[in-house]
Amino acid sequence: MTAGHAPSARLYWIIWGWLAGLMLLGVVLSELHVLPIAPKTIVLIVVGLSTIKAALVALYYMHLKTDRRLLAFVVAAPLLLVALALCVLFSSRLVKL
């Protein structure tokens, strides 16, 4: 790490708990159908949970939260392109040529 205060080992275990818990929540929602939620809504929720897990790993395990801001821009560049690609992909569902 090049900047900021290093997180403690305890925080890393707490993040592990969140990662495992969110992963299990996604599995339960998808497989056990415990709540009356439409399948498309479940897909959105599970993708949202995956995004939260990825953000936790990037912010705490990859130290983006405490590292230099320049690295956040390096990460943001491909994420913007990913967002653009997804917009193009899903817009094809809305626009019929």
80 near other proteins (CB under 8 A):
no
Report the alpha-carbon angle 58-44-22, nearest 5.
50
What's the first-to-final CA gap in the chain, in angstroms? 50
In angstroms, the Cα distances linking 50 to 25, 27, 83 are 11, 11, 15
92 near other proteins (CB under 8 A):
yes
Binding site for other proteins (CB under 8 A): 1-3, 6-9, 12-13, 15-16, 19-20, 23-24, 26-27, 30-31, 43, 46-47, 50, 53-54, 57-58, 60-62, 67-68, 70-71, 74-75, 77-79, 81-82, 85-86, 89-90, 92-93
